[in-house]
């Protein structure tokens, strides 16, 4: 988050990821969405924490259950805050919230989660995955991605 906020502050007129400073209430709403993902979802689901949960009883089901519950709780909170009619998480422009959402959903899908319980979030995710910037940034399209995990088109 630090580097994203640095870019936002250093280059505020180049592809802004937050609403204008004058729309401070909207900026708060975007940051609320960011924090749901960064704190409530990403932090407990990162591999270090998930492996630690698994190690308590040497049980992979503990890890998977813990991670899926963190995704469920966080995604339900996110879903409650986003509009049913907006293209992205907050309006018609990509924001910081969208940037942190995509990798979180990608990770949830790696855990084979069915995300039908958050239809607005899923709609936003699919809209974002259609954008060239998100396609180019996808881990499956990176030069250092192991061959077996690369996108089929490479």
CB atoms within 10 A of CB 5: 14
% of the chain exceeding 70 in pLDDT: 97
Is residue 110's pLDDT more than 80?
yes
Q: Can you give the pLDDT at residue 122? A: 98
CATH of domain 19-140: 1.20.1050.10
Among residues 78, 68, 56, the alpha carbon closest in space to that of 123 is found at 78
Residue that is written with structure tokens 């502050």 in the block: 9
Residue corresponding to tokens 């591999």: 47
Q: With 90 as the cut, is the pLDDT of residue 140 above it?
A: no
At 152, the pLDDT band (50, 70, 90 cuts) reads: low
pLDDT at 154: 44
DSSP character for 129? H
pLDDT of res. 153: 55
pTM for the predicted model, two decimal places: 0.88
Extents of the domains making up the chain: 19-140
> What DSSP string describes 3-30?
HHHHHHHHSTTSS-SS--TT-HHHHHHH
Write phi, then psi, for 109 (nearest 5 degrees): -70, -30
The answer to whether 102 and 126 have CB atoms below 8 angstroms apart is no
Mean of the per-residue pLDDT values for the chain? 91
Nearest residue to 41 via CA among 82, 131, 127, 102: 102
Q: How far apart are CA 142 and CA 119, in angstroms?
A: 29
């Amino acid at each position: 988050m630090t580097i994203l906020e640095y870019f936002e502050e250093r280059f505020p007129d180049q592809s802004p990821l937050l609403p204008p400073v004058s729309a401070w209430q909207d900026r708060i709403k975007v940051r609320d969405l960011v924090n749901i993902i960064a704190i409530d979802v990403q932090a407990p689901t990162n591999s270090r924490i998930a492996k630690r949960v698994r190690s308590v009883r040497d049980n992979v089901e503990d890890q998977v259950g813990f991670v899926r519950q963190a995704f469920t709780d966080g995604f339900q909170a996110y879903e409650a805050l986003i509009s049913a009619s907006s293209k992205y998480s907050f309006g018609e422009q990509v924001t910081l919230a969208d940037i942190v959402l995509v990798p979180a959903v990608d990770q949830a899908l790696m855990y084979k989660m069915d995300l039908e319980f958050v239809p607005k979030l899923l709609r936003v995710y699919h809209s974002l995955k259609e954008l060239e910037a998100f396609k180019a940034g996808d881990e499956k399209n990176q030069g250092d991605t192991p061959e077996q995990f690369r996108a089929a088109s490479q």
